[in-house]
Chain A
Amino acid sequence: MDINVPQQLVNALWLGGLYSLFALGYALIFSVLGLLNLSHSAVFACGAFVGLYTACGDEVFTTTCTELDRPIWIVIPAAMIGAGIVSVAVDRVAFWPLRKRNAPRMNQLISSIGAAALLVNLLQIQFGAAQQRFPFGSIPNDPVSGLPVVITPIQITALVIALGLMFALRILVKRTRLGREMRTVAFNERVASLLGVNVDRTYMTAFFIAGALAGAAGMMYGLAFNSMTPFMGESVSLKGLTVIVLGGLGSIEGAVIGGFLIAAIEVFSVALGRSDIRDAFVFLLLFVILVVRPRGLLGQGVEDRA
């Protein structure tokens, strides 16, 4: 079997960028709240639809998008802001009441599932269950010429934006006042509040950032495949989970590396002709990692999460 290795690497690269971006939100919420937010994939889909609506206007409610009202680039900031707001709303509705009461983590997990079901169904009510797409030709989808590999401008954009956001998040968490604040809250809410941190606001900020990252990932996923459905989050939901486990729960660098790794496994197993069992490889890896090294590839134990 001959595989065009450089081409597959390029594919793995931009897809990995999206996976990492999506998983970063998971990781951020896990590190600050110690919580698996299963509504993250619904927020991902919300982002894509907010972007679609911003660019196309009301016609997406009834039919599909036939022409753009606004320039195509607007979809990404719109998706980020929209998904960020949705994510904060999820926190206020599904997590905050439980957190206030110190409810067990398992209840919070279930309430995140309830929130996910609610969001996906609301999307379906608004936009219908059928596939939505941008008009043909509105997305720069022709491969860039003069390169030895096939890559479209939208894929390059996705990779660049993903890398940029990852870098920005890293700086934010490690170097800024907000980052210190989030790490303090993650360590101990009580101590944080005694230092003057408004803990509720910190949570909202974390949820906004996580949502914005998911929104960006969702929008670029929608653009790259030019296809959006309310259920688009399902395909990445488990992958995101796998990515953060692989990288070490709550580790930011881990989520990034895990994302690229999963994408590579996927792309190469498809290229090898075993697309039917590619997911089995992924989950087998997940399983083995958990049993052999539960901290993940880059996890450094509990005291160093963030």
Chain B
Amino acid sequence: MRVAIVIDIINAIFEFIFNVLNGALDPILTQLAEIGFREPVVQFMLINAILGLSIYMTLNCGLFSLANAGFMAVGAYVSVILTQKYDAEFGLSLLGGALAAGLVAIPIGLPVLRLRSVYLAIATIGFGEIVRIVVLNVDTIATDLFNPDEPIELTFGARGISRIPKLTETAHLVFFLILMGYLLYRMQRSRFGRAMTAIRQDEKVATTLGINVVYYKNMAFILGAMIAGVAGGFSGHATRIITPKDYGFDKAVDILAYAVLGGLGHWSGPIIGGMALKAIPERLRYLNEYTGALTGAVLLLIIIYLPSGLVSLGQPSFWRRGGRFEGARRLAGIGVALIVLTNMLPLRNLGSDEVLLGLEYWHLWGLGAGVGLIYWITSRQPASTGGRFSLPMSAVTGLLALGLIIAGLIGRIDQPGDGYYVLVFGLLLATAAGVIPYAPQHTETPPAEQVEGSHA
């Protein structure tokens, strides 16, 4: 009796939260749909963000584990079977999936977490594959073992489970993500978080500090598995069908990419990375066969030029690194790169008639090369007197940007496409970079104490 009341109250609270969230999300979702991200896409972006968090749990503890796709599979299958076969409530089925993933993680973690770096990565890949194969064959094996007369159908092998009720709502995902974000934020400042940081930095030192390394590593592994299990449950109920191959090696590697792409320095990194890796290919979908190639190229560019991930873009220190001169140089470089990129095959989507103010593509190549040349000539070394980075470049790009923006505003460009926006943005960046003033390069010597500490 009392229990029932408590459950009712909890349900009412959740309902209230989700109603409020839904109200707040509605306009945002409408906006997102306008620019090409419809609700299912947004849902998968959010699921990716949760997956990013799950691998962050382990990476943050220095564990290079690729097991999350496997745990995701466990969570997805368990929660789908719970809702579909046993009519469990969605919340309970998610919990069931998370617990199942956590339970599987315990016996796996104990032997495997002794391994380091690449070895751990490979062992966990092996685990992921075993999960996939077990899910694939559990029906036939169970039938052989227990009930030869009547086939047992649990996972339906390679065909997968179909006709799954679509229970995942965007509000659920947002709520869970906020909750997790908050918990991780708190965790990073707690004893637990500090212990993990210590282990990541140096396991031996952590041991000498009295930190129970085995315990923390396993906790991180299990928590990561549970988060992945929840993500699996959400993803299972976001599509109508799940098959074992959705959770294979490719998925495992994808999840790792979310974390590395977003950046490991901060818990928001994997969230951003996960969303970006869903959003980029989605946004480029209209390029058809070029989508995959361009996504690969974008991944390469980010990993090479943003070694600390996308989050570093939001850190002022990234832009200030090496002084204003270097910062301006970096901005200008990105600007010129974007201008040149506009000319690249897939982005030539300038306006609906694919011709911008009578400019042909080769004109744009010329423009990119011209701006690049001015940049190259005028930005060699900081003058000892200080000054501005490259006024000639700013003049050229500024006028062009202004012209394009006006043309866009007065409707001279029919339905501006991606190419138009990229071009204008690139020109604006280059303009801004060119007018940044920098001080003369300082050559004063630091105090002597610093030199003593230097490495010689």
Contacts and interface: CB of A to CB of B under 8 A. Distances in A.
B354 interface: no
A271 interface: no
A105 B260 CA distance: 11
A116 B299 CA distance: 11
A122 B293 contact: yes
B304 A97 contact: yes
Interface stretch (A16-24, A106-114, A149-157): A106-114
Nearest to B290: A125
Contacts of B130: 280, 283-284, 287
In the complex, which of the residues A36, A113, A125, A276 has the most CB atoms of chain B within 10 Å of its own CB atom?
A113
A207 B299 CA distance: 21
A121 B296 contact: yes
A291 B59 CA distance: 20
A280 B123 contact: no
A277 interface: yes
Interface stretch (B132-140, B206-214, B406-414, B429-437): B132-140
Contacts of B303: 98, 107, 110-111, 114
Interface string B135-147: 0110010000000
Contacts of A249: 118-119
Interface stretch (A70-78, A165-173, A215-223, A237-245): A237-245
Interface in B110-129: 111-112, 114-115, 117-119, 121-123, 125-127, 129
A107 B59 CA distance: 13
Contact of B253 (A38, A98, A242, A283): A38
Interface string B56-78: 00010000100000000000000
Contacts of A242: 126
B296 A116 contact: yes
A252 to B, nearest CB: 17
A118 B293 contact: yes
Interface residues of B, number: 41
B249 interface: yes
B195 interface: no
Interface in B279-297: 289-293, 295-297
Given A117-B299, A241-B125, A106 B292 contact: no
B24 to A, nearest CB: 34
B138 to A, nearest CB: 11
Contacts of A97: 304
Interface in B295-328: 295-297, 299-300, 303-304, 307
B293 A125 contact: yes
A291 B137 contact: no
Given A101-B307, A242-B126, A279-B133, A290 B296 contact: no
A61 to B, nearest CB: 13
A276 B140 contact: yes
A213 interface: no
B292 A115 contact: no
A111 B300 contact: yes
A290 B304 contact: no
A110 B257 contact: yes
B272 interface: no
Interface string A272-286: 000011011001101
Nearest to B305: A97
A43 interface: no
B261 interface: yes
Interface in A75-129: 93-94, 97-98, 101, 103, 105-107, 109-111, 113-122, 124-125
Contacts of B290: 121, 125
A237 B111 contact: no
A106 B260 contact: yes
B249 A238 contact: yes
Contacts of B300: 93-94, 111, 114-115, 118
A179 interface: no
Contact of B137 (A94, A277, A287): A277
A268 B260 CA distance: 40
Contact of B122 (A94, A111, A245): A245
B276 to A, nearest CB: 13
B292 A286 contact: no
A124 B125 contact: no
In the complex, which of the residues B59, B140, B291, B293 has the most CB atoms of chain A within 10 Å of its own CB atom?
B293
B306 to A, nearest CB: 10
B256 interface: yes
A220 to B, nearest CB: 24
B255 to A, nearest CB: 11
B261 A110 contact: yes
A231 to B, nearest CB: 11
Nearest to B295: A117
Contact of A280 (B121, B137, B257, B296): B137
A245 B129 CA distance: 15
A107 B308 CA distance: 9
A290 B123 contact: yes
Interface of A: 36, 38, 93-94, 97-98, 101, 103, 105-107, 109-111, 113-122, 124-125, 237-238, 241-242, 245, 249, 276-277, 279-280, 283-284, 286-287, 290-291, 294
Minimum-distance CB pairs A-B, first 3: A117-B296, A118-B296, A121-B292
Given A109-B121, A276-B140, A283-B127, 14 more contacts: A94-B304, A98-B304, A105-B118, A110-B261, A117-B295, A117-B296, A118-B300, A121-B290, A121-B292, A238-B249, A245-B122, A277-B137, A287-B123, A291-B112
Interface of B: 59, 64, 111-112, 114-115, 117-119, 121-123, 125-127, 129-130, 133-134, 136-137, 140, 249, 253, 256-257, 260-261, 289-293, 295-297, 299-300, 303-304, 307
6 contacts: A98-B303, A98-B304, A113-B299, A117-B292, A117-B299, A280-B137
